[in-house]
């Protein structure tokens, strides 16, 4: 079974430029998460989707970050414009979804973003 | 706000010895806990989980202990191997809430 797939693996951009990350969750998983992980810290939730609906985006900096999950499968996270402080690893994860007893979230390899 | 934290940021263990990684959580409503292992350049990988109706769960070479009274859980790794070197995170959530809250992590280094 394929795991969570993210692309690109690495991205280097200049500040004020836009950037986008893509995630393909595990087939059949209704819940999709975007996390940001700063160096030496644990992942922090940015946004959570149940199918195509964003049910928790309280931690998403909405002035520059946006996300979508059209058709409730793949998802894209965008930053525009990027700032130096956005440098981090952006992790996508998926889990079966609400209504099912909590199970672990499965993570992708992440996209390491460097803003220069 | 509620948080999950770890006592030790780094831990070095001789190969073959047992290791114990600790984690404190503050949300008394949490009923599901997970330990993740993260190797350099990779995403977190599930190791073992435990629900609040249990106080111990064993896997292959790993054991998780949960003490709800003091809101503490630990990960024990038996007969450590070089491949166990990684950062270990505990994470917690509760039924009906799909959000995982992670701690800062403990870097485990296995000394050959």
Summarize the confidence of residues A33-40 as an average pLDDT.
92
Q: Is A32 on the interface with B (CB under 8 A)?
A: no
Q: Which helix (H) or strand (E) holds A113?
A: strand A111-115
| Residues whose CB falls within 8 Å of the CB of residue A56, separated by 6 or more in sequence, listed in order | A45, A47, A48, B98, B99
Nearest-by-CA chain A residue for B32: A102
Query: How far A3 CA sits from the closest chain B CA (Å)?
Result: 11
pLDDT given at position A98: 60
Q: How far is B88 from chain A (nearest CA, A)?
A: 9
For chain B, which residues score pLDDT lower than 50?
1-2, 6-7
**At CB < 8 A and 24+ separation, what contacts does A49-52 make?**
A49/A75, A50/A97, A50/A98, A50/B98, A51/A97
pLDDT band at A101; cut points 50, 70, 90: low
The pLDDT value recorded for residue A1 is 62
Flag if B95 and A102 touch (Cβ within 8 Å).
yes
Number of Cβ within 10 Å of residue A33's Cβ equals: 26
Output the pLDDT for position A66: 97
Any B CB within 8 A of A101 CB: yes
Q: What is the mean pLDDT of residues A69-88?
A: 95
What was the pLDDT predicted at B99? 78
Residue burial B48-59, b: 16+ Cβ < 10 Å; e: rest: bbbebeeeeeee
Average pLDDT value for residue range A61-69: 96
- Taking CB atoms and an 8 Å limit, are A109 and B43 in contact across chains? yes
- B 47-106 near A (Cβ less than 8 A): 49, 89, 91, 93-96, 98-105
């Amino acid at each position: 079974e394929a795991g969570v797939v993210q692309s690109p693996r690495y991205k280097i951009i200049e500040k004020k430029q836009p950037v986008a990350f893509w995630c393909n969750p595990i087939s059949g998983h209704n819940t999709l998460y975007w996390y940001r992980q700063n160096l030496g810290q644990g992942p922090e939730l940015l946004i959570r989707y149940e199918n195509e609906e964003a049910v928790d985006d309280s931690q998403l900096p909405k002035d520059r970050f946006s996300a979508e999950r059209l058709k409730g499968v793949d998802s894209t996270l965008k930053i525009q414009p990027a700032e130096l402080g956005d440098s981090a690893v952006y992790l996508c994860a998926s889990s079966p979804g609400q209504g099912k007893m909590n199970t672990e979230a499965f993570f992708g390899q992440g996209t390491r973003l460097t803003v220069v | 706000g509620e948080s999950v934290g770890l006592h030790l940021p780094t831990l070095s263990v001789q190969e073959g010895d047992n290791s114990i990684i600790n984690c404190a959580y503050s949300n008394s409503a949490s009923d599901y806990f997970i330990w993740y292992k993260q190797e350099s350049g990779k995403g977190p990988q599930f190791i073992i989980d435990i629900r609040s109706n249990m106080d111990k769960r064993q896997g292959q070479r790993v054991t998780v202990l949960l003490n709800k009274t003091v809101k503490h859980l630990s990960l024990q790794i038996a007969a450590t191997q070089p491949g166990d070197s990684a950062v270990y995170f505990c994470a917690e959530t509760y039924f009906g809430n799909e959000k995982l809250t992670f701690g800062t992590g403990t870097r485990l280094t296995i000394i050959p």
